[in-house]
Structure 1
Amino acid sequence: MTQALPQVSLGSSRLVRFLSDLSVSNTQISHRQFTERLGEWIDFSDSITLSDAHARELAVEDNAVADFSAGITQEFLRARSTLIQAAMRSFFPSSGPARIKWPAATAQPPANTEEATAPYLKFYLAQQVDIDAKIRGLHLRTREASSGLSTRLERICAIDAALGDALVPRTRRYFSAVPALLKRRLEFLFSEYQTAVTAGADSNEAWAETREQYRRESQGLLLAEIEARLLPALGLIEELNEEIPNED
């Protein structure tokens, strides 16, 4: 039986909610505002490409599409699970092999804000580069595998490709802003640590607690970002399962 797909909407995006909880994002955007902003992101040449993709009439010769579509869904779910597990393992290097590792604890607490934040921001940036490459590859494989299964899916995949090309510069810019927001949060947590030490708290114990909060919040933010980055590919999978239901 095909594993159930997560139900995610823009308004309930974990990334939006997570940033909102950290008080670093104003997420109240009306449908009209979103539509107008989307129009600003896509220039005239992009609009022609999207129009051409929408208008295409495409023939499909594939047979036994139900089995093939089920395989596409399973591959997506497997790849998503592998990606998330690898990202989460990196926060706990002792739990298994990880190419990108959470910074090791230092012998002494950091002396200043730069020392307290730079290694953790470097870790997050490395994670962003890694998941961006993996998710773009997964999205492309999902699109290529789905496109020939029906005329409707072919058209949807053509629109997805054209829209993706139009929005890539903007989405990269907005995701690149996430580490800056994380930096502000880590600086705030470090300032709280300094206040606690000034008030008489043991510096090593207080830093260990602060560092653990760094880990929890960075992990939650990365999970939310992975979810947000997966939405375009997930949308294709949902369209695939709507077009070709799997009743196993």
Structure 2
Amino acid sequence: MANAAQTVLGGPDFLRLLARLSDGAMPATSPVLTDRLGQWVDWSRAVALSTALGGRVPAAADAGEAMDDLLADCEQAHASLLASIRDDAEAERLLDLAEAAATPTFASLRQRYRVLQQAIQTATGRLRGRLRDQLLRASPELARLAEIDAVMEQTLSPREHSLLAIAPAVLGTRFDRVHGQPGWRTAFRHDMRSLLLAELQLRFHPIKGLLAALRSH
């Protein structure tokens, strides 16, 4: 269950990268999740989590989609998002325009970054929901894991969203700082892609945890 509960808030690589790109203006390590969780769980969600942890084990539902199909879809989604980040021709074009502009801005690149962020969030959210549906059908014990994961996602998503929303602002500040320096386009392109790849990795943490639970069943 610990793997399934991993979230972006536990991702030191992502946070260290943000800290580096902001020249240390952000903390390099995140608060310990267990130290903060009690502050983030509101009363209704605390009750829901307590019920999921200690309540009656749900009955397994009928068999759902084939495990092989679900695994293939997870792998395909990850590969597709990975390719979109690594081969983002639109971002290259916008960098060319920024370099040629008299007063370059980060606005278009910020919008492109957010488009890719949304694609990651949408794809991973859909996969996580499908995996929970499969857990509900696998066994009573895995059905409880699905309930816990759902409550954890609802509880931590606002904090996750707030943290990830920092990334475009950090990149915007870095854009202004490095623009015009020798080799700035290559360096900035690397920074933008690295941050998106780190977010992709973190978004897939709970998916990998749920997959591991299903495989072990």
TMscore range, shorter length: 0.7 to 0.9
Partner of 1:109 in structure 2?
100
**Number of residue pairs aligned between Structure 1 and Structure 2:** 208
Q: Which has the larger radius of gyration?
A: 1
1:42 pairs with 2:16: no
Partner of 2:20: 21
The answer as to 2:89 corresponding to 1:92 is: yes
Please list, as runs of the form range in 1=range in 2, the aligned pairs for 1:1-248 lying within 5 A after superposition.
13-22=12-21, 23-29=24-30, 31=32, 34-54=33-53, 55-60=55-60, 68-89=66-87, 91-92=88-89, 102-103=93-94, 105-106=96-97, 109-112=100-103, 115-190=104-179, 193=180, 206=182, 209-241=183-215, 243-244=216-217
- Contact preservation (8 Å) 2:135, 2:145: no
Residue by residue, what CA displacement relative to the aligned partner does 1:9-35 show, whole Å, maximum 9, x if unpaired?
97664313322432343133464xx31
Is the 2:12–2:28 Cα contact (8 Å) retained in structure 1? no
Q: Tell me the TM-score normalised to structure 1 length.
A: 0.72
So what's the TM-score if we normalise by structure 2? 0.81
User: In structure 2, what is the Cα distance between the partners aligned to 1:130 and 1:92?
Assistant: 16
| Counterpart residue number, 1:96 | none
Moved beyond 6 Å, runs of 4+: 8-12
Query: 2:107 is paired with a residue of what secondary structure?
Result: helix
SS, match of residue 121 in structure 1: helix
Tell me the SS of whatever aligns to 2:164.
helix
Q: Secondary structure at the residue paired with 1:116?
A: coil
Structural RMSD (CA): 2.9
% identity of equivalent residues: 26
Unaligned runs of 5+ in 2: 1-6
- Structure 1 residue runs without a partner (length 5+): 1-7, 94-99, 197-205
Deviation at 1:41, TM superposition (A): 0.9
